[in-house]
Structure 1
Amino acid sequence: MNDLKNNLEQFDEGHPVRVYLEENILIKELFSELFNINPKDDFQKFYNIFNQICEVEKHFARKENQLFPYLEKYGWTGPSQGMWSFHDDIRALIKDARVAIESKDFDNIVTKSVNVYNSLSHLIQVEENRLLPNAMQLLKEDDWKEMYEGDKEIGWMFTNPPQRYPALEEEYIHPSQDTKKRKLSFSLEDRTHFDEGYLTMEQVNCIFKFLPIDITYVDENDKVVFYNRGDERVFPRSAGIIGREVKFCHPPKSVDQVLKILEEFKAGRKDIADFWINFKGKFIHIRYFAVRDENKTYKGVIEMSQDVTEIRALEGEKRLLDWN
């Protein structure tokens, strides 16, 4: 149990624990290759391997959005706070190393890469000696089986995705890929009356899916009850977030700010909070809106995030359609 990495065969192909361990092996192999390259002699190869190592972000995101919510369900909230903070520390080290690499600061490239390696090596030890063994004790088999779709949305470090777990005997068709046309009724029996007009639930789902904005709804009890599943989300989300307390859905360093927003919204002192950040080369606008009923009773908060990079760059006017 304590030597997981040398006992991969105890897990079926594609089992989430096995995938985490295989990614840890890949991380060590990539660093071994990286440190055998002189960045002055073969900069492009060094840069390419470093970019592969940066895919560890998917490893982090799956833990934060998939594994941690299940651990919280069984009462273990420590990883959602302590290990998430450690992830953020490593993210900062990776960013620091990237700056040195992209500026070809050869005096510091290796040193900063070693800093990333040391922190990731420590994280791997914690994962394999504490996090994953405890998770195996706490989680039930059905929990591991539920993770695949959410993991798939976030992605893995590998070029080719791991085998689905559990393996299906027949081809699985995700609802978003189900294009079978169904007969629609034009009566109002299957439609809901909104303030302006009538929509089927399918139409509502499609509208949310294709909106070029990330939307997350937190109810009056601070529980995440909805997010829209677009193809190009600004921030990763997966099904594990539904029903989760919102304070566990943000990095520890920003939790106090989120709680402050909720406090002001609930007290009726504020209705809107917005921020804008540079994120992975994009300019992201983040807005929070208090949701209230007709009696002004607080019903929750909507978080909206949008990549407005191209919008900010618009100039002049465009009055004609030009698709050529």
Structure 2
Amino acid sequence: MKKIDLNKTVFELVSEFPELTEIMVSLGFKDITKKIMLNSVGRMITIPKGAKMKGIPMENVLTALRENGFEVALSRKELLKSYLQRLNKGESLESVRVDFVEHFEGVDYDEIMQAEQEMMEEGVPLREVQHLCDVHSALFHGKMATEQSHEESVTTTNQNVVLATKLRDIDGHPLQTFYTENKALKALLDEKTSLREKVGKSREIAIHYAKKGDLLYPLLKVKYGIYGPSEVMWTVDDEIRDELTRLVRDTSDSDEWNNRAEAVLQRAAEMVYKEDNILFPLCAANFSDEEWKQIYRDSLDYAPCLGVQPNTWNEAEQQEKSLPAHEGEIVMPGGHLTIEQLRAMLNTLPFEITFVDAQNINRYFNEGPKLFKRPAMAIDRDVFSCHPPKIEPMVRAIINDFRSGKRDQVPVWMEKLGRLQYINYMAVRDHNGQYLGTVEIVQDMEFAKKHFEK
């Protein structure tokens, strides 16, 4: 059998195997018969690159070469892609596994992600890659993990897994929390309870998936150009979450419900495997220490998942968050804006906004039409001077309560000019609880009234 190396250029291969010209023409590479093209472009591109340019499926090329007596030497990545493509075309898992075991003694998890990402670059529909995301786990489990748990497999030579394990062992580190939540889900799935009870409890995994979607996927995609997980795994997360919700709402007791429940719980279990062995090691290999600390701080806004209470990461807690300078902008922990952006944003909000400082001085009114008029000349005046005598005692009482900490807000519902209004007076405090002033928000609620009257 003739062995062909697809890493060589088209010119090199045709020179080595003249009979290749006829095969390539039959596949659609008609320019290969033109000597000028062969001697110019043919010296620069490989068959895989040429197939991509012409939109010819690589699987068709491989099939034609094998049918004509060629043994194709593919890179590990190309072989992985070919296995995934064969699975997607309906070939049995066991049939593909035979070839997989024959050609691989071990496989790096990164190669799986790169293969999926390249397939998307080549135009493979996301839906197909999503399907592969489920199927390839079953394929790789046997060879990659040899059915070991994560704790048993961390002694492998995969550097990313080893690095992820080191981060996991840091008390309070985000990876520690993510891995612990996965351990809790696996324990839940192994419980000797009813399917309905497992489905109900498993819905909490939505919190885990939300953290991935907010904190991990975007950083991998935007900063590091690794978009495979965000394109594939994120969508699968959503499908698992949505199916669990549908099953909880479906009170029927049928074989169809049981089959759906078993299928979605299996998908959730496979996602645990992919996170532990692919996603988290990938994050560990790329994210900086400062990025992990920011992920930790952001993750504090999420509710506990599956009973897992995150530990405190003392190093992240003790480090003060530094705000990068942005010339000509207002810099805050939540971001940075130009004066014009901030002004436009505050004026766009459907509220009348008034801010009175700790010395009871009017400091700010947003612009635009107002039900309660706020003349510009009232800025820098005592707030009490803006109210009639009969109202002033009430205003003083509210602000005094805010200042003392007795109250934090005073909501008021009223009708004015035939329209329902919601007015909320709120104490403004710094992160230490120190009183900074009072904000008054006025919102026309007529739209809500009409909505609920329908």
- Using the size of structure 1 for normalisation, the TM-score is 0.48
Normalized per residue, the structure richer in helix is: 2
